[in-house]
Amino acid sequence: MTGVLETANEQAVLSELASRGLSPLRVVESSSAPRRRGGVPVRRLAAAYQQLADLLHAGVPLLRALRLLGRSKANPRIALTMTAIADDVADGQRLADAMARHPSVFPPIQIAMVRAGERGGFLDQVLARLASFLVQQAELRAKVIGNLIYPIVLLVVGLGVVVAALIFFVPRFKDFYKEMTLPLPTRILMTTSEVLTQHGLLVLIAVAVIIAGAVHLWRKPGVRRQMAIWQLRVPMFGPLVRSLSVARFCRVLGTLLTNGIPMLQAMRISRDAAGHPLMEEAIDAATESVRSGEPLAKPLGASGLFDEDVVEMISVGESANNLDSVLVSVAETIERRVDRLLGIALRLMEPLLLLALACVVMFIFIALVVPMMSMSSAL
């Protein structure tokens, strides 16, 4: 006989078959609902970590705390995942190993912190710090995205107005200007309008091909590295990206060291969390220096991505043996600086977008009016 049973774990399968009087020759796991692709909201995950930390701090056993979270109705995905983790823990696995079976929900940095907390006997403290860490990351991300919403909406609306004018308004003048010798701006405007109205589908296909080609090129390491170099050279935008990457690296590394992760392992995890090719190269060089017994601050300073004051604070932290707290402090300082730089950039971006939109509208107006004025003066 062969068949499929949907149960919590392999032991439940064996019990079910035994109750039917069957002796299995082989049991193979085929699928597990909690391991579907797609992550969970960061704030929801942070709330789950905080609940688990509070339960453990109150003396609730780990397995019972996981079962309680598995019965939560706030987020079905987290509830299913916690139930699966509770089943694995009941089978004798460590919490970190059970979490590692769900990579779409728990990234390596969280698993490493939980593993360190289990080994050191301070799991509730690690979970509380992890919840705070995720909340801070979510707030920074929400602040950046929230500040970019208005410029993006302004840009989309402006492009929509211009395209609508070229498709519906400009073609009305085509017959009127048919017998006239048009100036260059008017010819450019009429040609652009004709391309959009008569070959709109081809234009959409060309745009899709360009986007697909750009995405394909972006996946190549050499292209990403070159784009990262050009990115850092853009005024205002380059320093902002660099500061965000440095803040992310410092916060992740400081949080990992605070929770007892060894230095080299913490460096490898923070490299993946940096999110910038040049920063990854700088962290790789710093990791090799630390492995050979050298301090961390020197190779970071040689990369050119870290400001002198940040390098000096890291150096002092290494000397005073409080690098973890210094890195977190540096991250908070840089995040405040990023917030200030982002505010300045957005205050400059909004009038620039409005000015660009006004220039395009003015070009359309002049291109349509100049032939009329020429014809009027001739008459």
Amino acid at 132: S
From CA 218, how far away is CA 207, in angstroms rounded?
16
- What tokens does 355 get? 């000015």
In the predicted structure, residue 378 carries a pLDDT above the cut 80: no
Higher pLDDT, 379 or 354: 354
Q: What angle do CA 58, 61, 65 make, to 5 degrees?
A: 80
In the predicted structure, residue 365 carries a pLDDT above the cut 80: yes
Q: What is the mean pLDDT of residues 172-197?
A: 82
| pLDDT (tens digit per residue) in 62-83 | 889 999 888 877 778 888 888 8
What's the pLDDT at 209? 93
In the predicted structure, residue 262 carries a pLDDT above the cut 90: no
* Cβ–Cβ < 8 Å for 109, 261: no
| pLDDT (tens digit per residue) in 229-260 | 888 888 877 888 888 888 888 888 888 888 77
In the predicted structure, residue 166 carries a pLDDT above the cut 80: yes
In the predicted structure, residue 171 carries a pLDDT above the cut 80: yes
How confident is the prediction for the chain on average, in pLDDT? Answer: 82
What's the pLDDT at 351? 85
Domains and CATH numbers, the chain: 10-20+34-106 (1.20.81.30), 133-379 (1.20.81.30)
What's the pLDDT at 33? 41
What's the pLDDT at 34? 38
User: Looking at residue 168, what DSSP letter applies?
Assistant: I
What's the pLDDT at 9? 60
Percentage of residues of the chain with pLDDT beyond 90: 2
Task: Output the pTM of the full model.
Answer: 0.65
What's the pLDDT at 12? 65
Work out the number of other CB atoms within 10 angstroms of the CB of residue 256: 26
HEC profile for the chain?
CCCCCCCCCHHHHHHHHHHCCCCCCCCCCCCCHHHCCCCCCHHHHHHHHHHHHHHHHCCCCHHHHHHHHHCCCCCHHHHHHHHHHHHHHHCCCCHHHHHHCCCCCCCHHHHHHHHHHHHHCCHHHHHHHHHHHHHHHHHHHHHHHHHHHHHHHHHHHHHHHHHHHHHHHHHHHCCCCCCCCCCHHHHHHHHHHHHHHHCHHHHHHHHHHHHHHHHHHHCCHHHHHHHHHHHHHCCCHHHHHHHHHHHHHHHHHHHHHHCCCCHHHHHHHHHHHHCCHHHHHHHHHHHHHHHCCCCCHHHHHHCCCCCHHHHHHHHHHHHHCCHHHHHHHHHHHHHHHHHHHHHHHHHHHHHHHHHHHHHHHHHHHHHHHHHHHHHHHHC
From CA 123, how far away is CA 112, in angstroms rounded?
12
| pLDDT (tens digit per residue) in 22-67 | 888 788 876 544 344 456 788 888 888 999 999 988 888 988 999 9
- pLDDT tier, 223 (very low <50, low <70, confident <90, very high otherwise): confident
- pLDDT tier, 186 (very low <50, low <70, confident <90, very high otherwise): confident
Residues in Cβ contact with 281 at an 8 Å cutoff, skipping those fewer than 6 apart: 303
